[in-house]
Amino acid sequence: MNTTDKRQTKYIFVTGGVASSLGKGIISSSLARLLLGRGYTVTIQKLDPYINVDPGTLNPYEHGECYVTEDGAETDLDLGHYERFTNTHTSQANNVTTGRIYQSVINKERRGDFLGKTVQVIPHITDEIKRRIMLVGNKGEYDIVITEIGGTVGDIESLPYIEAVRQLRYQLGAGNSLVIHLTLIPYMAASGELKTKPTQHSVKTLLENGVQPDMLVLRTEKELTADVRSKVALFCNVEPDAVAQSIDVPTIYEVPLRLLEQNFDLVALRKLGLPAPESDLKEWTEFVDKVKNPKREIKIALIGKYTELPDAYKSIAEAFVHAGATNHAKVRLEYVNSEKITPQSIDRTLGQMCGILVAPGFGHRGIEGKILAVEYARTRKIPFMGICLGMQCCVIEYARNVLGYADANSTEMETATAYPVIDIMEEQKNITEKGGTMRLGAYPCKLTEGSRAQTIYGAEEISERHRHRYEFNNKYMQAFQEAGLKIAGINPATGLVEIVEIEDHPWFVGVQFHPEYKSTVLNPHPLFVSFIKAALDHCN
């Protein structure tokens, strides 16, 4: 809302209790969508209580996908939800971990900034947490900053964050902040009852830490009765209309609409003393309708090695939801473990697929299965997309099977290969530290005249996000081009190959970057949209 020049940024804190993984990220994103729908400018920040400086070095099995922002921050996957729901970019400042907080406090201590004082959790760590929260709001870009506190209240590692919220609320003054607490209302099938006691205890824990929540969101499998709502309101000192339910829905994108029905955003605005202009969620509602009422369903294989944990490929899965809806189709993703792909089994596994995607990844495990999948898609003319390592697999496969470079490989997998068609980037050669040292974030890419990519993007130059150490080896560029692998996009400054294509194929595109990070509900990614269209044609 850009009506007044001097606006006070308001802060909303989202905490969670009773159980982890209740969906604080989705609730925060949904509230942001509702407030955007009423004309406010909103951003969302995530505070993560673990000691890793960022999730970049975490195994996807530990923490799901690592999401990459425009400015090259390796972040929690919730930031992906924030961007997909709000359609705006986040940055390094939007994800802060305990590791990062301590790192800056310790660096300051080493510099002598604390002038001989004893450095303590309170006030030094809590001051740093508050500084990081205010940093997002101080730029003056946003009317409202939503800060999601990771973890669950009562956890030892969450305490400094809750304490920082307590202090900040006091400093910001009445009406300038809001605490929303998300809990679970379990349903006891045996007695047919919804239970409120865990919520009461969770709020009590918050109160012990000096924080009174203003609003509650109750996750539930069954509709909450008016009785349950008023009971929770009474025991937790919140107004009855400030108790919302978040019932399981077929798509996460429906959550804002379900909260809107309960006036969730209106109550939040009232508590923040902000006006409530008309809500406009027309485009959003249309999108949700398309997701819920597809005209067709198609199967796409996602080939990777973290297939038991679909969260490892969250942004890709969501990009398919967006692209599917645009094409009035439901995309059924079949997660295929590349280690299980053999020449004998491949027909059975991939024969029925309308499209094949080889996912990003690191290390040699499962690589040969990915290369087999590329070959299968290329020779059977099945629509194919390769992302990052997936694109590198396209290059290796083409080298081995079309150019006849028998042991062609990436030097990530085989340092001694005679044909290093994918090689470590020059600037990566002397890097030994793992954290935050890859080629990260947005870089421009110039599209080749007449390429499929150029038609799809409808642009000459694009910008996409990256996360890799290895690259296409330009020594082989001519050989590949002559053999029919088209170089469709190049970084204008470095000459790094960003896109490869095969012309004599219905749809075969490999990209060194990660298009999935930029796909949002209101801007589905053109590559995914075009890939799904080709997949629908293939299965017609």
Asked whether the beta carbons of 137 and 9 are under 8 A apart, the reply is yes
Look-up: residue for tokens 């060194």? 512
Residues near ligand GLN (CB under 6 A) = 360-362, 388-389, 412, 467-470
Shortest CB 58 distance to ligand GLN, Å: 14
User: Using CA atoms, how far apart are residues 506 and 534, in angstroms rounded to an integer?
Assistant: 7
What are the catalytic residues?
Answer: 388, 514, 516
Shortest CB 471 distance to ligand GLN, Å: 7
Task: Fill in the amino acid letter for 108.
Answer: K
Q: Which residues are bridge partners to 12 per DSSP?
A: 146, 178
User: Using CA atoms, how far apart are residues 523 and 85, in angstroms rounded to an integer?
Assistant: 10
Shortest CB 66 distance to ligand GLN, Å: 9
Task: Fill in the amino acid letter for 245.
Answer: Q
Which of 360, 524 has the CB closer to ligand GLN?
Answer: 360
Helix (H) or strand (E) holding 211: none
Shortest CB 53 distance to ligand GLN, Å: 19
Look-up: residue for tokens 């080709």? 534
Alpha helices (runs of H) in 237-313, residue ranges in sequence order: 255-261, 264-271, 282-292
Task: Fill in the amino acid letter for 487.
Answer: I
Shortest CB 390 distance to ligand GLN, Å: 7
Shortest CB 438 distance to ligand GLN, Å: 6
Select from 250, 271, 313 the least CA-distant residue to 179.
Answer: 271
Characterize the bridge pairing of strands 42-48 and 74-75. unpaired
Which of 240, 363 has the CB closer to ligand GLN?
Answer: 363
Which of 217, 388 has the CB closer to ligand GLN?
Answer: 388
Asked whether the beta carbons of 361 and 389 are under 8 A apart, the reply is yes
Shortest CB 115 distance to ligand GLN, Å: 44
Which of 128, 412 has the CB closer to ligand GLN?
Answer: 412
Select from 537, 522, 517, 519 the least CA-distant residue to 91.
Answer: 517
Helix (H, G, I), strand (E, B) or coil at 170: helix
Alpha helices (runs of H) in 305-345, residue ranges in sequence order: 314-326
Shortest CB 468 distance to ligand GLN, Å: 3
Residue 158 per-residue DSSP state: G
Asked whether the beta carbons of 17 and 199 are under 8 A apart, the reply is yes
Which of 24, 467 has the CB closer to ligand GLN?
Answer: 467
- Residues with Cβ within 8 Å of residue 196, at least 6 apart in sequence: 185, 228, 231, 232, 235
User: Using CA atoms, how far apart are residues 388 and 510, in angstroms rounded to an integer?
Assistant: 8
Task: Fill in the amino acid letter for 330.
Answer: K
Shortest CB 318 distance to ligand GLN, Å: 17
Based on its alpha-carbon atoms, the radius of gyration of the chain, rounded to whole angstroms, reads 25
- Dmax of the chain from CA atoms? 74
Q: Which residues are bridge partners to 180 per DSSP?
A: 14, 215
User: Using CA atoms, how far apart are residues 350 and 301, in angstroms rounded to an integer?
Assistant: 7
Look-up: residue for tokens 């790192």? 103
Which of 247, 425 has the CB closer to ligand GLN?
Answer: 425
Q: Estimate to the nearest angstrom the gap between the alpha carbon of 182 and the chain centroid.
A: 20
Tokens linked to 175: 């009406």
Asked whether the beta carbons of 370 and 390 are under 8 A apart, the reply is yes
User: Using CA atoms, how far apart are residues 49 and 440, in angstroms rounded to an integer?
Assistant: 24
Which of 83, 516 has the CB closer to ligand GLN?
Answer: 516
Which of 150, 361 has the CB closer to ligand GLN?
Answer: 361
Q: Where are the beta strands (DSSP E) in 137-211?
A: 144-149, 177-184, 187-188, 193-194
Shortest CB 512 distance to ligand GLN, Å: 8
Which of 168, 316 has the CB closer to ligand GLN?
Answer: 316
User: Using CA atoms, how far apart are residues 97 and 326, in angstroms rounded to an integer?
Assistant: 36
Which of 419, 470 has the CB closer to ligand GLN?
Answer: 470
